[in-house]
Structure 1
Amino acid sequence: MAIAHDEGDAGKKKHKECRNATDASAYVPERLELLSLPDSTEPTRAPPETSVPSTHEPQHQRVPGRAKKKRGSKTVQIYKGFRFCKSWESKRNIAYTCSKYKRTGCCAVLKITPLAEWYVQGEHTCRRDVEMNGSLVNETAAMKKMTDRLATENPGMPENDIWEQICTTYYGPNRNDLLDGLTEEQVKSRIRRIRRRYFGGDIHGVVEVPPCSKIKDSNIPFFRFHLVTPNEDPKAPPNRILGWAHPALKELLLYNSMSLFVDGTFRSVPRGFHQCLIVMVDDPARSIFTPVYFVLCTSKTDSMYEDILHLIYRDTNKKLNPAEVVCDFEFSLISSVQRQFPNTDVVGCFFHFKQALRL
């Protein structure tokens, strides 16, 4: 009996240990779930009742890092051959630390005041050996030459784009030399000064000189004439006429008894102009009307049309003698054509006639 009692006590004790182990193993996942906080964007879910305990800790998904923005002219400044990165900004000034501050601990700080005053506090300790040896590379003349070339070859190129090209060429990350060159403000002011001297003070002077006066990638002239006359109102801006034509197409106007078509458009004109007058000629080889002259004008008066027709007549070496001119039913244009070409028949355009009836 004693042996049986010992076996029974041992069995009860073994059953109690198994139950305690089961309770402990069931408690482990719950503790792990409490330790790993759920994401704020995901709803919390209760643990399943019949879950198998896992010996591995829950893995957290790595959040992808934000893409670094490329530093531009607003965060990077070049001053006396050194590159500075923007550090902080206040009402008094904007501070830029040396680009090698994190690597070498350089103490130089560039400060720019609201009045565009630049000054450096502290001394550069990042390239002390270069300063001691005195190997200062002067690139001022080369930068001026590149600035002049880009400003004249590309009249429509923004100043910031020109500065970015110059900065990449001379102040690129691969250049370790200490340079003596131009700053951003010096480059931009030189661009404005060179363009004003090369193209004139008026923006209309841009079309009179290369590259805008020539056909793209060619030396053939495309600009034909530019006429400015005073306005009747002294307070109003002067009257202006700008004309373009391709020399090869201009030869079509030398045929005898050819037909011209003159029409104006008002929508696709730049600011400051009233209409774009297009002169087309009947090409007998292709049996189509080919645009030859494109003329921008600031009004549509009789004197304006007379000046345009006279400039075209003079540009063809006074050989223009059309048999007929097709145009709309604008009285000022019809009278100007009859005065310039008295032996020419003026024909009203049927398309414009239908438009007038529709209105």
Structure 2
Amino acid sequence: MTTIPSNGTTKNKPRLNHDGYSYIMDRSTSEKNYWQCIKYYSDRCHSRLHTCISTNAIVKPPSEHTCKVNGITLELRVFNEHVADRAFNTQEIPDTIIINCYKDISDPSIVRLPARDNIKRRIRMLRHNNQVVKDPNDPNFPSVPIQLTKTARKDQFLRCDTGPGDDRILIFASDEQVDVLQDTDEFLVDGTFKVVPDIFYQLYIIHGVFRDHAIPLIYALLRRKTKETYQHFIREILNIAPRWSPRAVMLDFEQASFGAFQAAFPNASLSGCYFH
């Protein structure tokens, strides 16, 4: 299901943009929002779509539009959708967002866009209104902002924060990921270094082999790569998922992580791999 953000208001009614068309809120129930084409009255367009209140996912796609939208108008609406999406869902600077969104529209449409400074101002406003959180620059930040501890469905995602300190660990997993972690016994483990905030050393990921597919189950931000750090990390996971009992673990040849898993799960089969 596609998830779409709200895009402000029109005549004091919530508005959203999707696939180049705009919709305004018609009515709501306890589970759904009902939207109608913004040209319902002016062009008698009866296209409608439904979204889930808790997730903003489209649960009933829009019916066919009868209103007329020329190519440039459509491209401009899509451009605005893409700008809003990247403002909400990336940490790109405004100039990068604009460059990436320019790629999808024609020169005649670019001429019709607002001034670049106005687009950047809109991006900053969108982020301010959505309370996008900047990366902390101090590892001793007091706590993870509440909006980053939940999934899009408002379920718990942050499972562990060991608190300020030189060996701080953050562990993230959804309810479903924790369940799968405890219901499977074959795992692939690895760290990556290019996508982490400067105050952490690596993003450490545990994948589980579930129904013949490797799926990510645990994400952890670690400040060190010592055996003690990995042992602490494993203990915290066992607090989250006490039934976690690996039968086989494939990981790289890093001695610290290998030793930590061997000590925690002496009966598990550990294997090293350069590419996994």
TM-score, normalised via structure 2 length = 0.49
TM-score, normalised via structure 1 length = 0.38
- Identify the structure with the greater helix proportion: 1
- Identify the structure with the greater strand proportion: 2
Q: Which has the larger radius of gyration?
A: 1
Which fold has the larger relative contact order, with Cα–Cα distance below 8 Å and residues 6 or more apart in sequence? Answer: 2
